[in-house]
Chain A
C-alpha cells in the first residue's frame, strides 16, 4: 500500500538528484566507454574511428586472456582462502571472553585499515634484504623466497596479503550467520552423541551455506576489482606478472595514453562483472535471513 503524493511532481523532484547523478556518473560513463572503445585516441590528437580494432588487438595480442587468467587466479586464491580461514576463525571465536573478543578485533581491524597502509606495511615486511620475513627465513637457515620479485610467486603474494586484509570480513559475516544456529539444537545433538565434526557437517554447515555463498560471491566481485594493492606493491610487475584487470586499464590510460584500448578493456571488464553479479543474484535469492527456521 502506498500513498498518493500531495503534488504530482513531488516524487520526481525527490528522485531527481539521485537519478541525475547516477545517470551522469554511472550510466553515461558506460555509454562513453562503449563509444570510445571504437576509437584510437591518445588524449592529445583528435580521436580516430577504428571500428573493432581495439577489441581485435586485445584478443589477438593475447593481452585479454593473460590479464583475465591472472585476475581469475588471484581471485580464486583470495576467495577460497579467505572463505576457509574466515569460517574456521568464526567457528573458533564464536564464544564469550576477552581473549576471543581481542582476536576477533585484531583480525577484523585489517579490513578497516586502508589498502595503502596494508600494501606499504607488507612491502616492508617482505622486503628481500631488510624485511622481517626474509630475516626470519634466513635466521632459520632457509633460502628466502623473493616474494615480490619472482614473476611466478608475486601474484600469490598479493593474494596472500589480500587474504590477510579481508579474512576479517568473511569472519564477521560468518559470525553473524552463526547467531542463527540454535544452541539448543547443537546441545541436543551433542547429547545424542554427535561429535564436533558431525555437528558441523549436519547442523552448522547447512545453515551457513547461504552465508558462505554470499560472502564468496561478494569477495569474488571485490577481488576482480582489486587495484590499490597492485599499484602500491608491484605496479603490475615484475614483467607484468601481476597486472590484473583494473591495473591493465589504468596502465592503458595513464602509462600508454591509449584511451580507446582502455575503453575496450573497460567494456569487457564491465561485462565480466555483470556475469559475476548475475551469479551473485542467483545466490542472493537464498540469502541468509535474520531468522532461520529449523
Chain B
C-alpha cells in the first residue's frame, strides 16, 4: 500500500504564510529600529549631563532633561549666524540654478542656431566633473583674487548645474512650439516667454531642482570646508563638525546637541515635504 501524502490544505498555506509574514514584519521592525534608534540616541544624549554620560553612558533615558548642552552650543558658536549663512548660500544656489537653467534649456531645446550641438555636449561633459575634481584648482584660482572666505566662493561655482540644465531642456522639449509662436505673435519678448510662460509650465522640474539643490547644499560639508578658513562665512555643517575636533573627547552631549541643531530642520523638512523630496530624487535617477 502506497503511502499517499495528504495534500496540503488551505489552512496549511495560510499558516505558512502567516509565519513567514511575521518573520518579515519582525525583520522590518528591526530595520526601523536600526535606522531610527541612532536618531533617538542622539537626542537622548543631548539632554544628558556630562556626569551622567560618564557614570551610565548606556542608559537610554536621561535622568533629568537638561538643556545645558544646548546652552553651551549656542554660547560657544554663533549658531544663528551660521544658520543664516547656510540658508542664504543654499537658497541663492537653488535660485540661481533655476534662473539660469531656464534660458539655457530653452535655447538648447527650442532654438536653431550654429553651435547648438557643441553647447549641449559641453553641458553634458560637465556632468563628469564633480567638485571633488575642481576644488584644488578653484582654490588656487580664487586665492589670488581674494575670494577665499567669501559668499562668492561658496555660491558662484554652483550657480549653474549641468544636470539641472539638462533636466530643464528635457522638460521644455515636451512644450509645443505653437505655444511659443503664439506668444511671439502676441508681441511677447523672449524674456517674457522664458520666465512668464515656460517657467510656470516646467514648474515641477524647477521645484524638484531647487529642493534637491537646497537640501544638498544646506548639508554640504566639502565645499565650504575647502573654501573657508575662518568663521566669516562659515556654514553650519563645518561649525558643528568643529565641535568634535575642539572637544576633549568625552563631551559627547555637546556634540550631539550640535548635531540635533544641525539635523532637526532637515528632518522636519523631510517629514513635511517627503513626497516632493522623493519625487526630486527619483526624477534625478530616472529621467
Which of A's residues lie within 8 Å of B, judged by CB? 1-6, 8, 10-15, 17-19, 21-23, 25-30, 32-33, 36, 43, 89, 92-93, 99-100, 102-103, 105-117, 119-125, 127, 130-132, 135-136, 139, 164, 169, 172-173, 176, 214-215, 218, 225, 227-228, 231-232, 246, 249-250, 253-254, 259, 262-263, 266, 269-270, 273-274, 277, 287-288, 290
Among residues of A, the one whose C-beta sits closest to the C-beta of B24 is A92
Chain A residues with Cβ below 8 Å from B274 are 105
Q: Provided the pairs A32-B140, A124-B256, A173-B286 are in contact, do residues A113 and B267 lie with their beta carbons within 8 angstroms?
A: yes
B128 at the interface (CB under 8 A from A): yes
Interface residue SS majority, chain A: helix
Assess whether B157 is in contact with A25, with CB atoms less than 8 Å apart.
yes
* Cα A100 to Cα B29 with chains together (Å): 9
**Residues 130-153 of B contacting A (Cβ, < 8 Å):** 130, 132-134, 136-141, 143
* Cα A116 to Cα B260 with chains together (Å): 11
Q: List 24 A-B contacts (CB under 8 A).
A: A2-B112, A5-B111, A11-B111, A14-B194, A15-B103, A19-B123, A25-B134, A29-B129, A29-B133, A32-B140, A36-B136, A93-B28, A107-B35, A116-B241, A121-B259, A122-B38, A124-B256, A214-B286, A227-B132, A232-B221, A253-B136, A269-B132, A273-B130, A287-B286
| B contacts with A, residue count (CB < 8 A) | 95
B84 at the interface (CB under 8 A from A): no
Q: Provided the pairs A17-B100, A36-B140, A232-B221 are in contact, do residues A117 and B278 lie with their beta carbons within 8 angstroms?
A: no
**Set B137, B160, B194: member contacting A29, Cβ < 8 A:** B137
Q: Provided the pairs A21-B159, A105-B274 are in contact, do residues A273 and B136 lie with their beta carbons within 8 angstroms?
A: no
**Set B42, B112, B215: member contacting A121, Cβ < 8 A:** B42
Assess whether B244 is in contact with A249, with CB atoms less than 8 Å apart.
no
Chain A residues with Cβ below 8 Å from B39 are 109, 121
Assess whether A132 is in contact with B41, with CB atoms less than 8 Å apart.
yes
CB distance from B44 to the nearest CB of A (A): 10
* Cα A269 to Cα B134 with chains together (Å): 11
Chain A residues with Cβ below 8 Å from B281 are 111, 169, 172-173
Chain A residues with Cβ below 8 Å from B28 are 92-93, 99-100, 103
B262 at the interface (CB under 8 A from A): yes
B180 at the interface (CB under 8 A from A): yes
CB distance from A78 to the nearest CB of B (A): 16
CB distance from A104 to the nearest CB of B (A): 9
CB distance from A89 to the nearest CB of B (A): 7
Among residues of B, the one whose C-beta sits closest to the C-beta of A168 is B35
Q: Provided the pairs A3-B177, A6-B184, A120-B240 are in contact, do residues A225 and B132 lie with their beta carbons within 8 angstroms?
A: yes
B65 at the interface (CB under 8 A from A): no
* Cα A30 to Cα B194 with chains together (Å): 32
Chain A residues with Cβ below 8 Å from B226 are 250, 254
Assess whether B277 is in contact with A112, with CB atoms less than 8 Å apart.
yes
**Set A109, A136, A215, A228: member contacting B58, Cβ < 8 A:** A136
B201 at the interface (CB under 8 A from A): no
Assess whether A3 is in contact with B112, with CB atoms less than 8 Å apart.
yes
Chain A residues with Cβ below 8 Å from B184 are 6
Mark interface residues in B264-281 (1 if CB within 8 Å of A CB, else 0).
001100110010011001
Mark interface residues in B99-141 (1 if CB within 8 Å of A CB, else 0).
0110110111011110110010011011111101110111111
**Set A27, A122, A232: member contacting B126, Cβ < 8 A:** A27
Assess whether A259 is in contact with B134, with CB atoms less than 8 Å apart.
no
Chain B residues with Cβ below 8 Å from A89 are 31
Assess whether A15 is in contact with B119, with CB atoms less than 8 Å apart.
yes
* Cα A1 to Cα B54 with chains together (Å): 71
* Cα A32 to Cα B138 with chains together (Å): 9
Q: Provided the pairs A22-B122, A29-B138, A214-B285 are in contact, do residues A114 and B219 lie with their beta carbons within 8 angstroms?
A: yes
Chain B residues with Cβ below 8 Å from A131 are 57
Chain A residues with Cβ below 8 Å from B139 are 253
CB distance from A191 to the nearest CB of B (A): 14
* Cα A173 to Cα B258 with chains together (Å): 32
**Supplied contacts A36-B140, A115-B221, A120-B258, 10 more A-B pairs, CB within 8 Å:** A3-B111, A22-B160, A36-B136, A109-B39, A120-B255, A121-B38, A121-B39, A127-B252, A249-B132, A259-B140
* Cα A136 to Cα B41 with chains together (Å): 14
Q: Provided the pairs A18-B165, A93-B28, A228-B222 are in contact, do residues A114 and B112 lie with their beta carbons within 8 angstroms?
A: no
